[in-house]
Amino acid sequence: MDSSTPLRERYGPRMLFVKHVATKIFLEDWLLKLLALVITLALWFGVTGLSTPTTTRLTGIPLTIRFASNTEVTNSPVNEVDIIISGDKRRINQINKNDLIISVDLTDVQAGDRVVQLTPENITLDLPTGVKLDEIQPNRIAVRLEPVEIVEVDVRAETEGSLPEGYEIYSQTITPAKVRVRGPAGFLRSLSVISTEKIDLSDKISDFVAKQLPLNLENPKASPLEASVDVSFRIGERRVERLFLTPIGDDTAQKATVVLFGPRSLLLETQPSDLKVVIEPNAGGEQVPRLILPERLEGKVEIRKLTLQ
């Protein structure tokens, strides 16, 4: 076959097959093929943009410290740090800084003054896939860990306001009188008493009980193991001393000097004749005076002095 032979005759069926394939590829369903091409290009650009590396600095990230239950951090270490992260640009842009918290584990660290290194390897930080932590600033913090102890301390009732004129507190009873306090050993060594919440005494003229009073501690790292106490008050008329010259027995010639301490109005109403002094032997056989109070004074007055003249 020479060069003047027509192409169809020279190539025959092969030419027809190539033409058929080209028609299928480029002319049939061209809209679907174009859409597939657009989607492919979009995905390619999306993946290419996602993997674009970038480095970013985030400031003011909260830092928390985990420590053993038998220790307590007693200084004020840094509680915010800056971090430098790198990785996929889009993933970094999706990070909300307010959702990030860095945690460092000191549960195995012994008590004492410690300098803790902050590295990507010894902290916990939840970052998206494809983003890594490169650096923490500052990368060291000073931490004072103290052992935790439990001690028993006295309770003191704190009051405010004043009783009405002419009244006073006879006594107060705190239940329990001592409570256990848990806290850092250094603080507990200087703690000798724990105070109640303030009790208002305004307008109080008789006995009362303040129940379930919370206890106050200045150190927020220490806490009482008993949540509250009760405080009972005995309140009455202001007390005074009054002197009486009282006959001894039926002998009006011999008298005893008696000094009583008690409510003012009660003692003003009392006459020397209301009191009775007798001479009786004591355990050693010695003759000594004994004062017999009228029933209305029993338990309400105190004998401050009893002597023979």
Same domain, 141 and 198: no
Distance CA 128, CA 126 (A): 7
What pLDDT, on the 0 to 100 scale, is given for residue 141? Answer: 95
Residue 84's nearest CA partner among 102, 109, 67, 66 is 102
Of the residues 205, 237, 269, the one at which a domain ends:
237
Distance CA 8, CA 15 (A): 7
What pLDDT, on the 0 to 100 scale, is given for residue 24? Answer: 57
What pLDDT, on the 0 to 100 scale, is given for residue 287? Answer: 87
Distance CA 75, CA 62 (A): 17
pLDDT digits (tens, 9 = 90+) for 36-93: 676 776 665 555 554 578 899 999 999 999 999 999 999 999 999 999 999 988 889 8
Q: List the CATH number of the domain containing 102.
A: 2.170.120.30
Q: Which residues touch 59 (CB under 8 Å, ≥6 apart)?
A: 82
Beta strands (DSSP E) in 188-297 are 193-196, 199-200, 208-216, 223-224, 228-237, 239-248, 251-263, 276-281, 287-292
Same domain, 216 and 290: no
Tokens of 245: 């010259």
pLDDT per residue of the chain (309 residues) written in tens, 0 to 9: 455 555 455 555 655 555 555 555 555 555 666 666 767 766 655 555 545 788 999 999 999 999 999 999 999 999 999 999 999 888 898 999 999 999 999 999 999 999 999 999 999 999 998 899 999 999 999 999 999 999 999 999 999 999 999 999 999 999 999 999 999 999 999 999 999 999 999 999 999 999 999 999 888 889 999 989 999 999 999 999 999 999 887 766 788 999 999 999 999 999 998 999 998 888 888 888 999 999 999 999 999 999 987
Cα-atom radius of gyration of the chain, to the nearest Å?
Answer: 47
Of the residues 189, 217, 237, the one at which a domain ends:
237
Same domain, 243 and 233: no
Residue 2 falls inside a structural domain: no
Same domain, 296 and 257: yes
Residue 197 falls inside a structural domain: yes
Same domain, 127 and 187: no
Same domain, 164 and 222: yes
Same domain, 179 and 232: yes
Per-residue HEC secondary structure of 43-98 comes to HHHHHHHHCCEEEEEEEEEEEEEEECCCEEECCCCCCEEEEEEEEEHHHHHCCCHH
Same domain, 43 and 79: no
What pLDDT, on the 0 to 100 scale, is given for residue 46? Answer: 58
Of the residues 237, 253, 286, the one at which a domain ends:
237
Residue 227 falls inside a structural domain: yes
Same domain, 24 and 83: no
Distance CA 187, CA 144 (A): 13
β-partners of residue 181 are 151, 224
Q: Locate tokens 């724990």: which residue?
A: 194
Same domain, 292 and 207: no
Same domain, 26 and 74: no
* Residue 110 belongs to domain spanning: 53-147
Residue 1 falls inside a structural domain: no
Domain count, the chain: 4
Q: List the CATH number of the domain containing 203.
A: 2.170.120
Residue 152 falls inside a structural domain: no
Cα–Cα distances in angstroms (integers) from residue 179 to residues 122, 131, 156, 229, 306, in the given order = 40, 52, 11, 9, 41
Torsion of CA 201, 203, 209, 210, to 10 degrees: -50
pTM above 0.85, yes or no: no
Distance CA 151, CA 153 (A): 6
Same domain, 41 and 68: no
Residue 69 falls inside a structural domain: yes
